[in-house]
Amino acid sequence: MSISLPKPELKGEKSLEECIYERESIRNFKDKIIEVEKISQILWATQGRKGEKRTVPSAGATYPLEIYVTLKDKGFFHYNIKTHSLQLITEDDLSKNLARASLDQYFIAEAYLNVIICAEFSRTTNRYGQRGVRYVFIEVGHSAQNIHLEVVALGLVSVPIGAFDDDMVKEALDLPKKIEPLYIIPIGYST
Ligand SMILES: Cc1cc2nc3c(=O)[nH]c(=O)nc-3n(C[C@H](O)[C@H](O)[C@H](O)COP(=O)(O)O)c2cc1C
């Protein structure tokens, strides 16, 4: 099963400066569904395709990032960048496991949407050696900041999560061996 996402909009209601000013880490989420148009917009900002390139820069255009999401009522998905769609992995709600793997930061399980930014390091280290590791970490920051700003533009809130046990997250989400989780971003409507 896959969910095709609507075409992203290039105009919003808030200016970039308002989004930068209003961005802050919010950890209280309403029990409310996020509309598919907004999910589409967030994933496009995270790693959306723009011809051969994407909405975030990448060292040597090696594009090491892979994006996964949990949707509270629908399950766990992989973002297909090429087709701008979500591919269902399991209908189980894995957000509780994700919260447990993240030092029990319970609000992760309360967010309607969690974006898990992962990487296959070898795509970049094959070209740049050890330096490529730094490039991947920098790239995750580009992607995450796009998410935080887009979220504000859409009237939602988010928080970046770096405190988690890598192996526990990999196990909780049953990620492929070569895919490393780097950042978790819970998103929802604020209470
Ligand atoms: C790399 C990184 C990791 C973070 N990890 C967590 C985390 O695990 N849990 C959490 O609640 N906040 C986390 N934060 C959010 C910070 O606590 C927050 O950005 C900081 O307190 C400043 O507040 P602001 O984001 O509202 O400006 C993280 C932020 C960064 C940049």
Q: The CATH number of the domain where 69 resides is what?
A: 3.40.109.10
Distance 162 CA to ligand 1 centre (A): 8
Task: Report the sign of the C-alpha dihedral through residues 140, 141, 144, 145, in that order.
Answer: negative
CA–CA distance, 157 with 86 (Å, rounded to integer) = 21
Phi, psi of 70 (to 5 degrees): -105, 135
Query: What pLDDT, on the 0 to 100 scale, is given for residue 115?
Result: 98
Cβ–Cβ under 8 Å, residues 64 and 136: yes
Query: Structural domain tally of the chain?
Result: 1
Residue 11 domain boundaries? 2-188
Confidence tier at 3 by pLDDT (50, 70, 90) = very high
- 140-169 average pLDDT score: 98
- 109-119 average pLDDT score: 98
In this structure, the number of other CB atoms found within 10 A of the CB of residue 160 comes to 17
Q: Percent of the chain having pLDDT more than 70?
A: 100
pLDDT in tens, 48-71: 999 999 999 999 999 999 999 999
CA–CA distance, 43 with 154 (Å, rounded to integer) = 13
Query: What pLDDT, on the 0 to 100 scale, is given for residue 72?
Result: 96
The response to whether residue 176 sits with its C-beta less than 6 Å from ligand 1 reads no
Helices (H), the chain: 16-22, 36-47, 95-101, 107-110, 122-128, 131-153, 166-173
pLDDT in tens, 73-106: 999 999 999 999 999 999 999 999 999 999 999 9
The response to whether residue 57 sits with its C-beta less than 6 Å from ligand 1 reads no
Confidence tier at 148 by pLDDT (50, 70, 90) = very high
The response to whether residue 126 sits with its C-beta less than 6 Å from ligand 1 reads no
CA–CA distance, 4 with 84 (Å, rounded to integer) = 7
Distance 163 CA to ligand 1 centre (A): 9
**pLDDT higher at 110 or 73:** 110
The response to whether residue 111 sits with its C-beta less than 6 Å from ligand 1 reads no
Mean pLDDT of the chain: 98
Distance 83 CA to ligand 1 centre (A): 32
Diameter of the chain by CA atoms?
45
CA distances (Å), origin 78, targets 1, 23, 53:
11, 26, 19
